[in-house]
Amino acid sequence: MRQFDVIVLGAGAAGLFCGIEAARRGRSVAVLDHARAPGEKIRISGGGRCNFTNRAGADAARYISANPKFAISALSRYRPEDFVARLDRAGIAWHERAQGQLFCLGPARQIVDLLVRDLRAAGGTLQLSAAIGQVEHDGAFRVVTADGTWRAPALVVATGGKSIPKLGASGFGYRIAAQFGVPVTPTRAALVPLVFDPAMLEQTRPLAGLSVPAAVSCNGMRFDDGFLFTHRGLSGPAILQVSSYWREGARLAIDLAPGHDVLDSLVAAQRRAGRRAVETALAALIPARLADAVAARAGVGGRLADLPRPALARLAQAVQHWTVTPVGSEGYRTAEVTLGGVDTAALDPVTLRARAVPGLHFIGEVVDVTGWLGGYNFHWAWSSGWAAGQAV
């Protein structure tokens, strides 16, 4: 049996970061993972460049949780500039994209390598391909793997959620929580494409692959960003963002020409060039393929000069107030994160420790804290991992 001060389950962003911080405080640390390689979500994220944080990553309003205030403590103590400074010290180049998103200039593998190097430099142990059979508690935590038993008074669960199962994601962390009587809120796929029923797909499938700026609203939230028609429904950043707030049966309100007054533009075009076809006038505001589809959906065609104002208004409505009801999402297969998880009411916000189970901590995606698209979920991994690392 191998004895440590801290066992961390999961060698992803949160688990590695927690292990580093605990080891730097002089704790003997073992980070265990069933995968053959650490940090796989880091490696593949952002098209291989890793959107590792966001300038606004410490803003708790950009995280979803049953307790919106829960994340404030960790986020305020480990901020985006702290992680940026870490990369700067390591010589890892980065750049800023739209909306405060920070990405590596080179391959995301650099961040994985940095974390593994830091863990080992601090004296931590990383054990991969460690299939976990049982987690027990007999005054200390005992983790039974195919390679033997590991024992420690502190156990940190950083096993992530259910998103992207091809990388080995599962509900294992939730099962550990249930085993120790820690409640788990219902989970669902988030930051995920939404899908249509066959009847709606008949209208939208010809537009598959077309991307436009759009404003998408649902349940009181609005996101202005890229919007993509797919063979199954809708995707793109605006859809991924709003998917975290969408629920079955809810409608999306979509503006396909944000920042424009389409009716005013059509009326002006009617006065200036009445012989133009409706589709041609619309194509000045949105892509021609989309203009044709919108005009057909609105049942408005012909020359601008021949159209009464109500017809123009109907056309503008079809562009700027398109309402659709998805029938579901693509699920965990393509979801970037899992919404819901270990109930924050059962955790201490400063230490991420289960209130009723001394020595048991939950961090990262397994917790009911879900960030917006754009680096927020990685920042929650860093900040929650840092916070637990100071406490174990």
Q: What is the mean pLDDT of residues 243-255?
A: 98
pLDDT of residue 96: 98
pLDDT at 39 over 90: yes
For the segment 15-34, the average pLDDT, to the nearest whole number, is 98
Mean pLDDT, residues 78-84: 98
Over residues 247-267, the mean pLDDT reads 97
The band of 360, judged by pLDDT with boundaries at 50, 70 and 90, is very high
Once rounded to an integer, what is the mean pLDDT over residues 267-296? Answer: 96
Radius of gyration of the chain (CA): 24
DSSP-based three-state secondary structure for 12: coil
Q: How confident is the model at residue 345 (pLDDT cuts 50, 70, 90)?
A: very high
pLDDT in tens, 194-221: 999 999 999 999 999 999 999 999 999 9
pLDDT tens sequence across 82-104: 999 999 999 999 999 999 999 99
pLDDT at 341 over 90: yes
Residue 337 has pLDDT above 90, yes or no: yes
Whether the pLDDT of residue 224 is over 90: the answer is yes
- Residue 106 has a pLDDT of 97
What CA–CA distance (Å, rounded) separates 34 from 165?
13
Residue 338 has pLDDT above 90, yes or no: yes
d(CA 322, CA 22): 51
Q: With contact defined as beta carbons under 8 Å apart, do 74 and 391 qualify?
A: no
Give the residue, 147 or 225, on which the prediction is more confident. 225
pLDDT of residue 147: 83
| Cβ 352 vs Cβ 391: under 8 Å | yes
Q: Is the pLDDT of residue 134 over 90?
A: yes
Query: In the numeric block, which tokens belong to residue 53?
Result: 């944080």
If pLDDT is split at 50, 70 and 90, which confidence band does 146 have? confident
**Collapsed DSSP state (helix, strand, coil) of residue 249:** coil
CA 12 to chain centre: 15
Q: How far, in Å, CA of 392 to CA of 387, rounded?
A: 9
Partner residues linked to 95 by β-bridges: 103
For residue 156, pLDDT over 90 is answered with yes
* Domain annotation for the chain: domains and CATH numbers: 2-188+336-389 (3.50.50.60), 193-330 (2.40.30.10)
What is the mean pLDDT of the segment spanning 123-147? 94
Pairing type for strands 2-3 and 125-127 reads unpaired
DSSP symbol at 353 = B
3-state secondary structure 112-177: HHHHHHHHHHCCCEEECCCCEEEEEECCCEEEEECCEEEEECEEEECCCCCCCHHHCCCCHHHHHH
Tokens (6 digits) for 38: 């650490």
